[in-house]
Amino acid sequence: MLVNILAPIFVFAVIVLIHEGGHFLMAKLTGMKVEEFAVGFGPKLGGIKRGETLYSLRAIPLGGFNRIAGMDSSDKNDDPRAFVNRPVWARLLVIAAGSVFNVLLAFFIFVFAFLYAGYQTFPDLPVVGGVLSGTSAEKQGIEKGDTILTVAGQKVDTWTDIGKITKTLDTRIVPVTVSHEGEEKTLTIMMTDGDNGRPLIGISPYLEHHDV
């Protein structure tokens, strides 16, 4: 789909633009002369000049760039505000600012995602949070929200108990008793192999969601 192509391009453009924004702000703060701050690359579509800086819009919307006076080592620039004539500490700050801004962007995205989505905890209850598609558990009718009461005739009090029981069994065909909407039923489940080779019923645990 088109969105699958455009989305990564948009994300890349934002990352580059934030990166260049870091260079721009630090150059301004350290007294350097920024001749142009461009959004995008390629032919210039237009721009507006504020003070000594031209803010331009380019034809290819992939990030942006700064044109700082004296940043090209081949430039012969006697302007004391040119990059090459500023103190070493100021030049280092300008160079590092782009990466710092990208780190800050990642941090704020993480914080926003955490605050928006909340977090989950594992209460270790014998409650089904999901059923693996195509497994015997799904075919036999185990559903999300069911409570596992027994596995192979052994009482289950926690989700951890399920793993302990299945690990000791020498058969892949297991009777599982569940409570579904208050009704108990015993199902015969053919266990499947997990990634580590251990037998699994084909269900995942219930996780509690917490808002921040």
Measured from the Cβ of residue 146, the count of other Cβ atoms closer than 10 Å reads: 22
What phi and psi values does residue 112 have, to the nearest 5 degrees? -60, -45
Sequence spans of domains, the chain? 2-117, 128-210
Our answer to whether residue 20 is catalytic in this structure is yes
**Per residue in 15-52, pLDDT tens?**
999 999 999 999 999 999 999 999 999 999 999 999 99
Task: Give the pLDDT score at 73.
Answer: 62
Q: Which of 20, 36, 52, 181 is catalytic?
A: 20
Task: Give the pLDDT score at 76.
Answer: 67
**Per residue in 160-178, pLDDT tens?**
999 999 999 989 999 999 9
Provide Rg for the chain, Cα atoms.
Answer: 30
Q: What is the CATH number of domain 128-210?
A: 2.30.42.10
Predicted confidence (pLDDT) at residue 212 exceeds the cutoff of 80:
no
What one-character-per-residue DSSP string does 22-65 give? HHHHHHHHTT--EEEEEEEEEEEEEEEEETTEEEEEEEEEEEEE
Average model confidence (pLDDT) across the chain = 92
**How far is 212 from 140, CA to CA, in rounded Å?**
37
Residue reference for tokens 């942006």: 64
**How far is 176 from 172, CA to CA, in rounded Å?**
12
Contact 32/52 with Cβ under 8 angstroms?
A: no
Contact 66/27 with Cβ under 8 angstroms?
A: yes
**How far is 97 from 20, CA to CA, in rounded Å?**
9
Provide the whole-model pTM: 0.65
**Per residue in 59-91, pLDDT tens?**
998 889 999 998 876 656 788 999 999 999 999
Task: Give the pLDDT score at 61.
Answer: 84
